[in-house]
Amino acid sequence: MHSCIDTKMIIWSLCFLFSLSDLILVFASSAKHLCPPDQRDALWEFKSEFSVQELDSSWWESDLKTERWRNNTDCCAWDGISCDSKTGTVVELDLWGSSLNGPLRSNSSLFRLQHLQSLNLSSNNLPGILPDSIGNLKYLRVLKLRYCNFFGKIPSSLGNLSYLTDLDLSVNQFSGELPDSMGNLNRLSELQLRYNNLGGNFPAVLLNLSELTQISLSYNKFKGMLPSNMSSLTNLEYLDINGNLFYGSLPSPLFMIPSLIQLNLEGNSFSGPIEIKNISSPSNIEVLSLGENNFDAPIQGSLSKLAGLRTLELNYMNTRIMVDLSYLSHLKSLSYLDLSGNDLKFSSTLRLPYLGFLYLSSCNIVEFPKFLQSQTRLLLLDISVNQIEGKVPEWFWRLEIPHVNISQNYLSGFDGSADVIQRTGGVVTLDISSNAFREPFPLLPNSTNYLFGSDNLFSGEIPRTICDLVYLERLVLSNNNFSGSIPPCLSTYLSVLHLRNNSISSVIPEDFISNMLISLDLGYNRFTGVLQSDFFAGWGAMSLPVVYFEGDSQYRFSGVGKPYYQASVALTNKGSNMKLVGSGFTIYKTIDISGNRFQGGIPESIGLLKELIVLNMSNNAFTGRIPPSLSNITSLQSLDLSQNQLSGKIPPEIAKLTFLAWMNFLYNRLEGPIPQGTQIQSQNISSFAENPELCGVPLQKTCGGGEGAINQEQEDEDEEKDQVLSWTAAAIAYLPGVFCGFTLGHILTSYRHGWFMRI
């Protein structure tokens, strides 16, 4: 009996001890994560030093971390905060892209966080000088202040951060020379200073930092010759001095740094020959960019010693001597080659290594090079801006190159039948613009994603076979002789549709609604009819911000960062014809329906397109009032309503559009006072001319009194209230359309390679 009781007592005692130990562990665990009150208070004060204002950017998506902080809670659990697991002190503060707005003060509570090891305030708006107090954070290992709008000199107190391994001050407005104190950063491994206004000779203080693996000084104002003792940087893997003012010959020891992998010297004024002495051990350089310099002697012979090259950029070297391609045939690992802007020398029997990317733009080529026939692994070929005549040979399409640019030549057609491209397949991007192509319009494979065919001689109706291209996103056929009607299918999946300066007639189909469309140019055709009041109610992509993601991909080449494919589209912005070149034009949201015969009122639903940047409805026959809903387009920068028959007063709400830098109301029937506002007052007087009843600044005609303006504001306000119900109905129809459209777009794009986003 006693033994049973003893046994039970022992068991209960053990259970109690285990429970007690668990409880102690729980309390100990939670205690070690609690940050000290002084640290929490410092962070809370730091939060209050800035306003939170989302930046007008399409390059990242804001994450308002500080808005989710809660006072009197454990700051170690706050977004962007990491604490030491033992002491609870704050060791990491990451507020990248948190929309902080305001200067970083010298007495900021940030500098009370003495144990910080990592600080990232990149992509915030912190205009002002980087305070010397930054040097008080003496335990920092990582400091990232990219894209913060800092200016002035880099503070010498940075030299106090002796533990620093990673420093990024890129994309600011820092000026002057690097402080000598940076020579104290003996542990520094990565240094990013690109896109500033820094100057002077190559910073000699860097040559003593033997731990450096990455140096980026691109797009600054550094000058002079490169020092001959660059080889002292024995651990250097990446050097980028692109876009500076360096000159002279390249020091041969630079190519002999055994650890060097990527070397970008593009966009300077280097000259002379490149002399690479005999290399005792194989060079590890894989990426070499020498374009846009002034070399005046052959260089390719020396480059043949760099047997490990994968990426070679020799574009626009200004050399007076032809580039002999035979020297490059020995570079067996080469996969990316840019020879644009040079005169080339090659034989019909030349065999280059299998390339993935080949740029031969502006090389005075007169026919398709025969050596291309063996290039069966090409992913991209740019042979634009040359002097190639005649027809595109049939063998060219059998190479199945996904991205092809043969624009700005003298090509007139395609060998073989009209379906020659479709039969071979594989085309994703095709640029045949600025040639002399005529009918028949080529049949394209379903894989086609982008088609640029402007400035040719195509005529007749736009072929309905384009409707079969379910992956087509961008279609540019401006400046041809197309006629007939516009296929309704073009609005289904397209994000860019440019049909400017053709002879396309009829009305725009009622079902011409696109959740994806972000750039529409139908200018100078023969469209007629009335745009219904809800015409723009389903254009979801123009109402939401576009975020540009610069993701990695399996085909991305290292170190250079150039987009795979650059195209150009023409549009009218701020009264001038302009050409957008590159891959970024897709985020330039535009509507241009100028030079047609549209009638009736401007649809009130135009105000739904809040992210629209350019709106051109000039040279039509629009009547009625300018819709006050235009004031909802808060991103609008260019507005052209000239040469219509618009009447009434200019809505005073337009004066609130702070980004609206250019507007034109010329040749209408507008009346009354011009709204007052900085953006409006700065306009040229011609923007309001030929409206006999308009008055007020900037016109010389004064208004009779202020009463009319006040009454009109009240009238416009009453009119806007009357439209609330119709707006609500439009929104009800519009929001489900946005959801369905973007869901469908996500389903489609999720089956594509991620590297399409780079084009």
Per-residue model confidence (pLDDT) at position 539: 84
Between CA 728 and CA 726 the distance in angstroms is 5
Q: Is the dihedral of CA 326, 328, 333, 335 positive or negative?
A: negative
Per-residue confidence band for 704, with pLDDT thresholds at 50, 70 and 90: confident
Instruction: Name the nearest CA neighbour of 220 among 244, 202, 191.
Output: 244
Greater confidence (311 vs 30) lies with 311
Highest mean pLDDT among 322-326, 328-332, 591-595: 591-595
Q: Which amino acid is at 29?
A: S
Query: Which DSSP symbol is given to 471?
Result: T
Evaluate whether residue 564 is within a structural domain: yes
Per-residue confidence band for 548, with pLDDT thresholds at 50, 70 and 90: very low
Evaluate whether residue 253 is within a structural domain: no
Instruction: Name the nearest CA neighbour of 209 among 190, 228, 188.
Output: 188
Query: In this predicted structure, which of 42-46, 368-372, 710-714 has the lowest mean pLDDT?
Result: 710-714
Per-residue model confidence (pLDDT) at position 367: 96
Residue 552, pLDDT > 50, answer no
Residue 332, pLDDT > 60, answer yes
Per-residue confidence band for 688, with pLDDT thresholds at 50, 70 and 90: very high
Structure tokens at 230: 């660059």
Instruction: Name the nearest CA neighbour of 580 among 471, 476, 456.
Output: 476
CATH code assigned at 508: 3.80.10.10
Neighbours of 478 (CB within 10 A): 23
Greater confidence (597 vs 578) lies with 597
What contacts 166, CB < 8 A, 6 or more positions away? 141, 142, 143, 144, 188, 189, 190
Evaluate whether residue 626 is within a structural domain: yes
Per-residue model confidence (pLDDT) at position 737: 44
Per-residue model confidence (pLDDT) at position 676: 87
Is residue 540 within 8 Å of 742, Cβ to Cβ? Answer: yes
Evaluate whether residue 510 is within a structural domain: yes
pLDDT mean across residues, the chain:
84
Residue 15, pLDDT > 70, answer no
Evaluate whether residue 11 is within a structural domain: no
Instruction: Name the nearest CA neighbour of 494 among 429, 563, 554, 541.
Output: 541
Q: What is the pLDDT of residues 239-263, one digit of tens each?
A: 999 999 999 999 888 988 999 999 9
Between CA 730 and CA 275 the distance in angstroms is 69
Greater confidence (319 vs 16) lies with 319
Greater confidence (741 vs 644) lies with 644
Is residue 423 within 8 Å of 400, Cβ to Cβ? Answer: no
Q: Report the length, in residues, of the chain.
A: 759
Per-residue model confidence (pLDDT) at position 743: 39
Per-residue model confidence (pLDDT) at position 446: 93
Q: What is the pLDDT of residues 261-286, one digit of tens each?
A: 999 999 999 998 887 776 656 689 99
Per-residue model confidence (pLDDT) at position 425: 80
Per-residue model confidence (pLDDT) at position 55: 57
Residue 198 Cα to chain centre, angstroms: 24
Is residue 491 within 8 Å of 512, Cβ to Cβ? Answer: yes
The angle subtended at Cα 290 by Cα 286 and Cα 292, nearest 5°, is: 150
Residue 616: how many CA atoms within 13 Å on its side-chain side? 25
What contacts 191, CB < 8 A, 6 or more positions away? 167, 206, 212, 214, 215, 216
Query: Residue 557 is part of which domain span?
Result: 460-741
Q: What is the pLDDT of residues 627-656, one digit of tens each?
A: 999 999 999 999 999 999 999 999 999 998
Q: Is 211 left (phi over 0), alpha (psi -120 to 50) or beta?
A: alpha
What average pLDDT does the segment 643-671 reach? 94
Per-residue confidence band for 513, with pLDDT thresholds at 50, 70 and 90: confident
Return the percentage of the chain with pLDDT > 70, whole number: 80
Longest dimension (CA), the chain: 115
- Return phi, psi of residue 429, to 5°: -125, 130
Per-residue model confidence (pLDDT) at position 272: 84
Residue 124 Cα to chain centre, angstroms: 17
As to burial, measured by CB atoms within 10 angstroms (0-12 exposed, 13-18 middle, 19+ buried), residue 515 is buried
Residue 715, pLDDT > 80, answer no
Per-residue model confidence (pLDDT) at position 563: 42
Evaluate whether residue 303 is within a structural domain: no
Residue 338, pLDDT > 60, answer yes
3-state secondary structure of 613: coil
Per-residue confidence band for 556, with pLDDT thresholds at 50, 70 and 90: very low
What contacts 633, CB < 8 A, 6 or more positions away? 606, 607, 609, 610, 611, 612, 615, 657
Residue 658: how many CA atoms within 13 Å on its side-chain side? 1
Q: What is the pLDDT of residues 425-478, one digit of tens each?
A: 889 999 999 999 998 999 999 999 999 999 999 999 999 999 999 999 999 999
Q: For tokens 């001689």, name the residue.
A: 457
What average pLDDT does the segment 400-428 reach? 93
Structure tokens at 99: 């929309």
Helix axes 707-722, 724-749, angle to 10 degrees: 60
Q: Is the dihedral of CA 202, 205, 211, 215 positive or negative?
A: negative
What contacts 711, CB < 8 A, 6 or more positions away? none
Residue 217, pLDDT > 90, answer yes
Greater confidence (297 vs 308) lies with 308
Domain count, the chain: 1
As to burial, measured by CB atoms within 10 angstroms (0-12 exposed, 13-18 middle, 19+ buried), residue 736 is exposed
Structure tokens at 381: 């070929």
Per-residue confidence band for 580, with pLDDT thresholds at 50, 70 and 90: very low
Between CA 554 and CA 210 the distance in angstroms is 32
Q: Which amino acid is at 434?
A: S
Residue 131, pLDDT > 60, answer yes
Q: What is the pLDDT of residues 605-625, one digit of tens each?
A: 999 999 999 999 999 999 999
Is residue 143 within 8 Å of 163, Cβ to Cβ? Answer: no
Between CA 379 and CA 428 the distance in angstroms is 10
Between CA 141 and CA 145 the distance in angstroms is 13
Structure tokens at 74: 């454990």
Per-residue confidence band for 488, with pLDDT thresholds at 50, 70 and 90: confident
Is residue 697 within 8 Å of 501, Cβ to Cβ? Answer: no
Helices (H), 534-662: none
Residue 677, pLDDT > 60, answer yes
Residue 289, pLDDT > 50, answer yes
Neighbours of 678 (CB within 10 A): 8
Per-residue model confidence (pLDDT) at position 13: 56
Residue 551, pLDDT > 50, answer no
Per-residue model confidence (pLDDT) at position 722: 44
Is residue 155 within 8 Å of 133, Cβ to Cβ? Answer: no
- Return phi, psi of residue 702, to 5°: -90, 155
Per-residue model confidence (pLDDT) at position 185: 98
Q: Which amino acid is at 628?
A: P
Is this model's pTM higher than 0.85 or not? no
Per-residue confidence band for 170, with pLDDT thresholds at 50, 70 and 90: very high
Instruction: Name the nearest CA neighbour of 667 among 647, 639, 697.
Output: 647
Q: For tokens 């002789």, name the residue.
A: 481
Per-residue model confidence (pLDDT) at position 104: 97
Evaluate whether residue 611 is within a structural domain: yes
Evaluate whether residue 293 is within a structural domain: no
Query: In this predicted structure, which of 56-70, 170-184, 362-376, 491-505 has the lowest mean pLDDT?
Result: 56-70
Identify any residues that bridge with 358 across adjacent strands, giving them in sequence order.
Answer: 337, 381
Residue 741, pLDDT > 60, answer no
